[in-house]
Chains A and B, each alone.
Chain A
């Protein structure tokens, strides 16, 4: 494996973790939106607040990790992606601001009206953000970002069938992950009524994901033949694994085996993402720029990997500690 491939894989691991961790946080916001009026939705919202409060900021940093790895390791891919897709990226960034700020504001507010306003901002931005990030993925994956210093079509690059599919899929997948994770959380916290609610929602989201994915086959076939080819050839085993894992998740959820179900659900998402990566390899920008051509000089890649290695030595223990404390319920009492 070349150094460039190692860095690309590292970055893609970051994308995967962002999707699994922050994706579930966005999905929790999705369910917050549909939790019902203030009174009826209170227990659901409380569960959501408790299960993302201590971790969402750490989960969010994976996005930063991906961005800085992309611009340091593959500057000539970063530049055209960001400039061509600046509209959905700006909207996603605004969504990120609203989501993070309003979540914190809601927690710090006591009056019902303030909590309502911040809650609405939190929940709607939790849907907007993954949509636009998903549409960015669609734009990149369908080869709509030209390499070089000239910006591609700033509208068609994200207002196209593949991007819409990417956006919708992102929202549904986030909702699916969140429903399964929250069912497990509710179960763990001995709130069976909430576990039942999220069990139902896991089904709804899981089935929706299946239906959209099936429809997506036709969309990709018509709109992005290269991506379609990649997903159905080199990516095929991954896609099959994803479908299988998705189905198993639903069976596990049906049997109330939530603790295992959450890992299998995560696996389904990981498989789709790596199916995309495998399908698109070796292109960073389809037919425009390979990973090798986009890569920074060797010295930069090596320095980045060294920083990554040393950083991980600090990061991994801290992250594990956070998760252990969180699972043990030691992060329950707010200052």
Chain B
């Protein structure tokens, strides 16, 4: 915005990388923070209702993992709050008063989450079952609420409202209008559903793996069925909501849409390309379906789609990054629809999981695939907004700190996150290896899962 001195271009790059690394890490654990409590409570509730010890065992063992993940989630989120100021002080200094409110509200959701997780994990034997389950639900509700509010802040970056700029000054600040920006609704819905997909699939993965390796028992089958069912219920809805999100992007962020689809020239009746690469302003390879983009984005096969050429080159996001990420996300979305259909059909026919080992292989892959879709979605949102930190209001390079040496913080964080990832994985694996209680008898070797 203003012609102030900015940090060197390389430090800007490191700052962006650092933000991407921390957010990309936090979001995976945050998804578990939102949806895992619901899985645990469902298992606990089934255990209490049916008296089936398998469910109770599941709930208790999952809760242990949840406790570990919660600690990691809390600390990985804390560093984000620091980074907003450390990396982007000009953005916070200038717009903190406009977009701070959702974070202030989110703080209370964090409090409730942290309180209830303490009560849930440590109060298992002392609290009445109903109260205990309600506390577990409250963790999840608070988690979903915190996601709603934090995505409101992100939505504001995509669709900045609730202020005016007069003579270079931010005036007429309306924090509630900023919070309830129009991007909030599709984004938050898509994010929360995404969290259920990610958590369900990530929990399914190790159970499917054990079954595939012949180490599985009824415990693993029940765990797999429960977690995967939750994810697969969300998956079809996610496609519909993704479409909603895309239409919103078409309305409010036309250049992001142009990057998602690789549209260089403004055109009527724009085609949709599946696959291929964006080379020299056109899509090479892939499948071309005439008029479909116009139809999907604007409900009219002849509607006009704005092209990248309408803005200067320096204002265009990197098309291939955004476009490839989008295609991957959508591909995974449809693959999950297929996996869900498989699961649903087998369940209707035989009241059991599909017998094929290919199903187990797909279930093992579903966790990493869901995480990939999640990261891709965020790449679409964040990289697709480039070069703007606040769409059409503030550029990333005007927001970054002018402090020297930012890169060393980034290097330090790479080391910390690597260590954290390895340790988290090791600890969770150790928890999974603790022998099951006696009542959960193993399947005889060689038996189909």
Contacts and interface: CB of A to CB of B under 8 A. Distances in A.
A71 B85 contact: yes
Contact of B92 (A71, A151, A308): A71
Interface in B72-105: 72, 74-79, 81-82, 84-86, 89-90, 92-98, 100-101, 103-105
The interface residues of chain B, by DSSP majority, are classed as: helix
A68 B103 contact: yes
B168 interface: no
Interface in A86-102: 86-87, 89-90, 92-94, 96-102
A300 B100 contact: yes
B123 A331 contact: yes
Nearest to A328: B126
Contact of B70 (A57, A93, A319, A330): A57
B173 interface: yes
B79 A296 contact: no
Given A57-B114, A76-B93, A83 B101 contact: no
Contacts of A319: 111, 115
Interface stretch (A103-111, A224-232, A261-269, A278-286): A103-111
B215 to A, nearest CB: 20
A68 B175 contact: no
Interface string B192-213: 0000000000000000000000
Nearest to B60: A335
Interface residues of B, number: 76
A296 B173 contact: yes
Contact of B100 (A68, A92, A105, A318): A68
Contacts of A297: 97, 171, 173
A188 to B, nearest CB: 16
Contacts of B127: 330
Contacts of A97: 75-76, 78-79, 416, 420
A86 B423 contact: no
A72 interface: yes
B118 interface: yes
A75 B176 CA distance: 17
A42 interface: no
A96 B405 CA distance: 21
The interface residues of chain A, by DSSP majority, are classed as: helix
Contacts of B86: 82-83, 86, 89-90
Given A82-B85, A83-B85, A108 B427 contact: yes
A314 interface: yes
A158 B346 CA distance: 64
Nearest to A297: B173
A61 B110 contact: yes
B438 interface: no
Interface stretch (B61-69, B217-225, B285-293): B61-69
A64 B81 contact: yes
Contacts, number: 256
Interface string A312-324: 1011001101100
Contacts of A105: 68, 423-424, 427
Contact of A78 (B93, B122, B412): B93
Interface string B250-275: 00000000000000000000000000
B173 A300 contact: yes
Which bracket fits the contact residues of A?
Answer: 35 or more
A168 to B, nearest CB: 22
B68 A108 contact: yes
Interface in A242-268: none
Contacts of A103: 71
A81 B68 CA distance: 32
Given A84-B403, A86-B406, A149 B114 contact: no
B94 A318 contact: no
Nearest to B70: A57
A330 B126 contact: yes
Interface string A56-70: 011011011101110
B112 interface: yes
A57 B77 CA distance: 12
B281 interface: no
A72 B103 contact: yes
Contact of B106 (A55, A68, A107): A68
B107 interface: yes
Contact of B78 (A63, A102, A318): A63
A85 B5 CA distance: 19
Nearest to B163: A297
B409 interface: yes
A300 B105 CA distance: 12
A304 B104 contact: yes
Interface string A167-184: 000000000000000000
Contact of B108 (A149, A299, A311): A311
B423 A318 contact: no
A79 B90 contact: yes
B130 interface: no
A205 B342 CA distance: 64
Interface of B: 4-5, 60, 63-64, 67-68, 70-72, 74-79, 81-82, 84-86, 89-90, 92-98, 100-101, 103-108, 110-112, 114-127, 171, 173-176, 401-406, 409, 412-413, 416, 420, 423-424, 427, 430-431
15 contacts: A64-B78, A64-B110, A71-B100, A72-B104, A78-B96, A79-B92, A82-B89, A86-B86, A86-B406, A151-B403, A154-B405, A299-B175, A304-B101, A311-B105, A315-B112
Interface of A: 53-55, 57-58, 60-61, 63-65, 67-69, 71-73, 75-76, 78-84, 86-87, 89-90, 92-94, 96-105, 107-110, 114, 118, 149-151, 154, 296-297, 299-300, 303-304, 307-308, 311-312, 314-315, 318-319, 321-322, 325-326, 330-335
Given A100-B72, A154-B403, A315-B111, 7 more contacts: A72-B104, A97-B76, A101-B420, A296-B173, A307-B101, A318-B111, A331-B119
Which are the 5 A-B pairs with shortest beta-carbon distances?
A82-B85, A72-B100, A75-B96, A79-B93, A296-B97
